[in-house]
Structures are given as structure tokens and as C-alpha cells.
Amino acid sequence: MRPKVTVVGAGNVGATVAQYVVERELADVVLTDVIEGLPQGKALDLLQAGPIHRYDCRLTGSNEYRETADSDIVVITAGLARKPGMSRDDLLFKNAEIVKGVVEQVARYSPNAILIIVTNPLDAMAQLAFRVSGFPKHRVIGMAGILDSARFRTFIALELNVSVENVTAFVLGGHGDTMVPLPRYSTVAGIPITELLPKERIAALVERTANGGAEIVNLLKAGSAFYAPGASTTEMVEAILRDKKKILPCAAYLEGEYGISGLYVGVPVKLGRKGMEEIIQITLTVEENAALKKSAAAVRELIDKLKI
Ligand SMILES: NC(=O)c1ccc[n+]([C@@H]2O[C@H](COP(=O)([O-])OP(=O)(O)OC[C@H]3O[C@@H](n4cnc5c(N)ncnc54)[C@H](O)[C@@H]3O)[C@@H](O)[C@H]2O)c1
């Protein structure tokens, strides 16, 4: 039997996740949304791409949670996306209401699932899902760092005219303007970029990465990025279902790691069949540590507003 993945929210990110998951034949997929016909229509359309893309995964769409029962993974993308001029934090109260309602249903029908949260503001929504579901921390993980580091990798590869496959990058902290890219852990074929690029160029790439989401929102005007977010989420789904023990930057609940307690923040974690199997601690410089603390404080502010 193939694993079962539910994607809640059949909008841009949700439908893209469904597409990438079946294209890799990772799981059968149930798409759900509050809009009648939307998840059903997209699921049927994607199913009909199967003969050409050669996947046999089952895809169904529904407005009910019954059909999501006993999912192995539930990806939550339900909620509003940013418009030009909006920050991720502007979405806080409306998306909190949506995510709370979704998580209550999901936890009821799939009590053993691993939740991957995508809805913004990401770290706060992950914390909300953790509280509302009552699931252990290893089964509630937020997607952000993979996307942020994919953006950084893209910009590094463009700058040096090398394959993206040669580039690894590390980004810590909350998903937002306070994210913390780590140039000294970002490499091209194993060589730290600090040895390949002058400081000012690295600073410019870091800046572009931190504003990577807004750059796309401003171009699209209606809606926000979804191809790279969909790919990043699928990498988490794959690492979990294939028990890859892959180390990836994700939002995880910290209990003292990096000197932070009781908060979801982006850190390197090991993803495997149990979900978030380990938080990897690396030694930070004084400046990096200060930047991470500042980023965590920004997340804490949102958590306080939500009183969770
Ligand atoms: N974590 C990240 O890195 C990252 C990246 C991209 C987007 N996002 C966030 O993901 C979310 C989705 O983005 P999108 O571009 O797919 O938006 P979208 O508007 O295209 O899709 C959102 C979907 O959620 C549905 N929805 C709303 N309330 C719902 C509910 N109660 N139950 C089920 N479905 C519901 C809507 O009908 C819509 O189809 C946004 O909050 C966005 O900010 C996060």
C-alpha cells in the first residue's frame, strides 16, 4: 500500500505540492479545501496527467475531512497569501483562525499523522498547530528554511555561474525578514562562499534571500511564490516517507537548544519516518547567535499576540 498524504488548501502551494508528490510517486494524495469543486477539479486534472507523466498514485479531492482519515502526513497550506505591501505577519489573526480549525479536524481524523505546516506567518502557525493538535513535537514541523536556503543557493549559483547542484546553503531563524543566512556554512563544491566572494557581494545575496518572498509577491501582484515552496515541502515529504534521515532546515519546537525555549524557530533537523528525529546543534559565532536571538524574539512577539 502506498502512503497517504493529505494536502489541506488546494490553492497555489497546495496543488503544487500534490503535483510534485505524485510525480515522484511518493504517496496517494487527498486534496481538501473549503471551496466546493476546487480540490476535486485539481485532483482529477492531476490524475489525468498520470498516464503521460507515468504515475499510478491515486488523487482525490474533497471538502470533507472524512476522506483524509489515517493520513501518514498532512500538509497544511490553508489560509491567505500575501499581497504586495503585506508582511507575512499581517496574515496572523486570519490565518490563525483557519489553521486552528483545520488542525482540530486533521488531528481528529489522522491522530498519528505528521503535520507539515506551510501557512504564514510560518513559525507562529507551526506553534499554533503544535498546541492545538496536542501532537508530540517530532510530529509537527514547519516548512521555511528549505525554501529560504534554496533561494540563497539559487542566487549563489547565478552569481558564480556554477551548477545549483554544487551549492549548499544554510539559513537559520524564523521565516521572515529576520532570517539568518550563514555564509560560512554555505559552500560551492565544499568551498565556503566566504572564500569565493567578497563580503559586499555576499551581503547583497543575503539581503536578496531575506527579501526573496517579497520580490516574487511584487512581481506576481496577486498571490505569492508557490513552485519553490511546493518543491521545498515535497522534499520534507520525501525525506519522511523514505526515512532518509536527511538534515534540512525546518521550523522545530526548541526546548533549550540554541538557548531558546518553548518556541518554533528554524534550525537544522534530521527528517525520517518518525518526523523530526533530531535537532542538530551547531556552534554559532557571537553575531550569528545575536541574529538568531533577534529572529526568535520576532517569532515570540507573534506568539504573545496569539496568546498560545
Ligand atoms: N512557509 C513558506 O515558506 C510559505 C511559502 C509560500 C506560501 N506560504 C503560505 O502558504 C499559504 C498558502 O499560500 P497559497 O499561495 O497556496 O495561497 P492560495 O490562496 O493560492 O491557497 C490557499 C487555499 O487555502 C484555502 N483555504 C482557506 N481557508 C481554508 C480552510 N479553512 N480549510 C481548507 N482550505 C482553506 C483557500 O480556499 C485557498 O484555496 C499562505 O499563508 C502563504 O503565505 C508559506
pLDDT computed for residue 168 by the predictor = 97
Q: What is the mean pLDDT of residues 21-40?
A: 98
- Nearest atom within ligand 1 for CA of residue 13: 16
Give the rounded percent of residues in the chain with a pLDDT score beyond 70.
100
Give Cα 221 distance to the centre of its chain: 22
pLDDT in tens, 205-237: 999 999 999 999 999 999 999 999 999 999 999
Band of pLDDT at residue 82, cut at 50, 70 and 90: confident
Q: Model's pTM, two decimal places? A: 0.98
Q: What is the mean pLDDT of residues 191-199?
A: 97
CA of 199 to the centre of ligand 1 (A): 37
Q: Name, in order, each residue with C-beta under 8 angstroms of 104's C-beta and a sequence gap of 6 or more.
A: 132
CA of 78 to the centre of ligand 1 (A): 4
Cβ of 77 below 6 Å from ligand 1: yes
Give the rounded percent of residues in the chain with a pLDDT score beyond 90.
93
pLDDT computed for residue 179 by the predictor = 87
Query: Considering only CA atoms, which residue is closest to atom 5 of ligand 1?
Result: 229
**CB atoms closer than 10 angstroms to residue 258:** 19
Q: Which of 34, 65, 76, 128 to mutate to test the pocket of ligand 1 (most atoms within 8 A of CB)?
A: 34
Q: What's the rounded Cα separation, in Å, for the pair 23 and 278?
A: 28
Catalytic residue (choose from 42, 82, 88, 175): 175
Q: What's the rounded Cα separation, in Å, for the pair 266 and 280?
A: 11
User: Any catalytic annotation for residue 53?
Assistant: no
Q: Where are the beta strands (DSSP E) in 143-245?
A: 167-168, 171-172, 180-181, 187-188, 191-192
pLDDT in tens, 93-119: 999 999 999 999 999 999 999 999 999
Cβ of 106 below 6 Å from ligand 1: no
Band of pLDDT at residue 83, cut at 50, 70 and 90: confident
Cβ of 78 below 6 Å from ligand 1: yes
Which element (helix H / strand E) includes 255? strand 246-255
